[in-house]
Structure 1
């Protein structure tokens, strides 16, 4: 069940990205890109208290 929910969540995020690009609105595209970049940089540090090292 967890894999189904995770897959649906990832699909929804992908569709939001696709929707932003297809909309043709430069402001929306830029905002989506900036938010993704911030999330990838700051997300692990904020939510996971730093990257896990092996």
Structure 2
């Protein structure tokens, strides 16, 4: 995938992907990761804490 094919998210857009009935995305050092199928990130929580 070329760099110009990558999606850029605003903070507000990224906040919509919170894992509560939607995909779960997290950003680390400017990169966004899809953690939807990671058990530790189910229901918008990570090890019992908020994603934020």
Query: What's the TM-score once normalised by structure 1's chain length?
Result: 0.26
Query: What's the TM-score once normalised by structure 2's chain length?
Result: 0.26
Report which structure shows greater RCO (CA 8 Å, sep ≥6).
Answer: 2
User: Larger radius of gyration, structure 1 or 2?
Assistant: 1
The structure richer in strand per residue is: 2
The structure richer in helix per residue is: 1
